[in-house]
Amino acid sequence: MPITDLLERNSKLYGEEVALVEINPEIQEEPRVTWREYELIQPTSATPYRREITWSVFDEKANRVANMLLSRGIRKGQKVAILLMNCLEWLPIYFGILKTGAVAVPLNFRYTASEIEYCVKLAEADILFFGPEFIGRVEDIVPNIGKERLLFFVGDSCPSFAESYAEAVANCSSSAPKVLVQDTDEAAIYYSSGTTGFPKAILLDHTALMQSARMEAVHHETTHNDIFLCIPPLYHTGAKMHWFGSLFTGSRAVLLKGNRPKAILDTISWERCTIVWLLVPWAQDILAALDRGELTLEGRHLSQLRLMHIGAQPVPPSLIKHWLEYFPHHKYDTNYGLSESTGPGCVHLGMENIHKVGAIGKPGFGWKAKIVDEHDVPVKQGDVGELCVKGPGVMRCYFHDEAATAEAIRDGWLHTGDMAMEDEDGFIFLVDRKKDVIISGGENLYPVQIENFLATCPKVHDVAVIGLPDPRLGEIAAAIIQVKKGMSCTEEEIDEFCLGLPRYKRPRKIIFADVPRNATGKIEKPKLRQQYCGVRLVEAQNKA
C-alpha cells in the first residue's frame, strides 16, 4: 500500500493521541502547564517553545494541503518542492503532496540561491513551499522561477512575491481527496549530497517508502509506546525514514530544533523519549560536555531511553565504548544507507550485535548485499571491494540522468561507491568511499581506518584524513585534527600516538583545524581537499 495509507490508518486508530511535537529551545516562553509534568523546570522559569498535533489533526492538515494543491491544478506525477526547517508544518505538507499523487521534492536548507534554482528546475517542480529563513534566497531567484511556479510562504508576514500558505489552505476541505495512489507510483525526489558538484535527483516510489517504514520498525523493535527524538533535517532521507518507524507504529515523535547537548538531554528527559538517532558529532559533543562537567545526568529522566543509534557516516568504535560508560544499559545500532537506497537500513548492525561495533552490519530487512571487484565479480571474504545492495528500496533512477542511473544500477544491484570488506562472521566493515581511497607509494590507504585509530587519542575531538599530492609517493595521508575543547596538542604527540599504526598508514602531515561536517554529519572532504590540496601542490612543485 502507499505510504499515505499509514497516516489515514493512524488517524482512525489513534486520532486523539499526539503524533508530533515541535521543540525550539532557542525561543523561551512563559511558565506553562504541559501534557507532562516537567520535574526539571522550576515553576517560575521559562520553558522552550513547544507545539504538538494529534494524528487526526495531522491527517486533516495533510488533506487541506492536498485539496488546495488540486484546486491549483496539481495532478498525479507533478512535482512540488519543500524548503523548510524542521517544524510541525513540514510533514503535513509532505503528505498533502503525496495524497494528490504528486511527487514531493525536499530541498536542503543549506542550498544557496543558485542551488535552489537548479534543483527546482531539475525536478520540474511546479510549486515551492518555503519558510522565513529562506526569504532572501528565494527572492533572489524569483525572476528566474516565479513566472512559471507558485510560491507558498509558510510563516507570518508573507513577502509580496509569494502567497500565504495559511491563507491558501484555510478554507480547503479536511476530507481525503479522491485520488487513487498506488504502490508503484512515484513518491519523492531526494537530492544527493552534491559533494562533487550540483546534486543528483533521486527518484523513489511508494514501494520504497513503505519498505523503509516497515524495516525501521523491525530493526529497532519500534512499538506504539515508543517516543522518537528526531533532530536531523527532514529534507534528508535519514531523518525521514527513521521517523517512518513512528508512522508505521502510530507512535509519537519529537522534532527538536538545534543539536546542542543540553537541549538534547533536556528534551529526552522532558518528553520521555525512548529512541534517539544521533550523528557522530552530536554524540561527541554530548560526551565532551559530560567529560568536562558542563552537563550531568543527575536529575534527568533518562531511564526510559532504550536505544541510541547512529548513521550517515562511519562510527568510531571508541565513541560507542565511551557512550556506554555513561549509558551502560543502552541498546545501540549502526545504520548504513544512502538516499539511493531510500535512506538508512539496507545494511545495519543490529541491536543484538554491539560486540561488533565498528562494522556496519549485515543486510537489512528485505535486502541483499555483496562486495565486488572492478569487474563486478564478488571478492573473497576478507578482501576489499565495492559494496553493492539489492532490495525493494533501490531508487527508480536518477531523474533525467540515464547515464548516471546505468552506472549506479546494474542488474538490479545498486553500486554504493563505498569500499567494504566482510569478516569471517559475515559482518560488513566500511573502509572508505571509493573516491576517498588514498594511493600512496602503490599502497591503498583507507582514511576511515586511520580516522578510527586517531579518534581513540584522548586529546582528539574529531578527525578527518585526506590525500594530499606528493611528487614522490603520488599521495600522502594528511590528518586534520580538531583538538578537544580546553586541551592543547602538538604534532609530536600525534606522531608518537601513531606509532601504534603500521608505518605506511601513519599520517605524514598533521593539520590542527576544525573538521567541517554537513547537516547530515558527513565530513566535507571535498572542502578539505579544496582548502589544503592546493597548498600542498604548490609545496610539491617547489620541491620538484
Whole-angstrom distance, CA of residue 130 vs CA of residue 152: 6
pLDDT at residue 272 greater than cutoff 90: yes
DSSP structure string for 358-391: TB-BEE-TT-EEEEE-TTSPBPPTT--EEEEEES
Show the cell assigned to 260. 546542542
Q: Are strands 343-348 and 150-153 parallel, antiparallel or unpaired?
A: unpaired
Q: Rounded mean pLDDT of the chain?
A: 89
For residue range 373-384, list pLDDT tens digits in order. Answer: 999 999 999 999
| Predicted pLDDT of residue 436 | 78
Of 507, 386, 370, 379, the C-alpha closest to 438 is 507
Show the cell assigned to 438. 588514498
For residue range 402-453, list pLDDT tens digits in order. Answer: 999 999 999 999 999 888 999 999 999 988 677 777 878 667 787 888 988 9
Contact 88, 172 (CB under 8 A): no
What is the rounded average pLDDT of the residues 366-372? Answer: 97
Instruction: For cell 553493492, name the residue.
Output: 388
Contact 477, 490 (CB under 8 A): no
| Predicted pLDDT of residue 38 | 46
Contact 38, 47 (CB under 8 A): yes
What is the rounded average pLDDT of the residues 496-503? Answer: 88
Contacts of 38 (CB under 8 A, 6+ apart): 47, 270
Domains and CATH numbers, the chain: 4-305 (3.40.50.12780), 331-433 (2.30.38.10), 440-543 (3.30.300.30)
Whole-angstrom distance, CA of residue 85 vs CA of residue 26: 14
Show the cell assigned to 447. 582514511
For residue range 31-52, list pLDDT tens digits in order. Answer: 444 444 444 444 344 567 899 9
| Predicted pLDDT of residue 520 | 65
What is the rounded average pLDDT of the residues 253-271? Answer: 94
For residue range 194-228, list pLDDT tens digits in order. Answer: 544 578 999 999 999 999 999 999 999 999 999 99
DSSP structure string for 425-470: TS-EEEEEEGGG-EEETTEEE-HHHHHHHHTTSTTEEEEEEEEEEE
For residue range 446-479, list pLDDT tens digits in order. Answer: 788 898 899 999 999 999 999 888 766 778 899 9
pLDDT at residue 94 greater than cutoff 70: yes
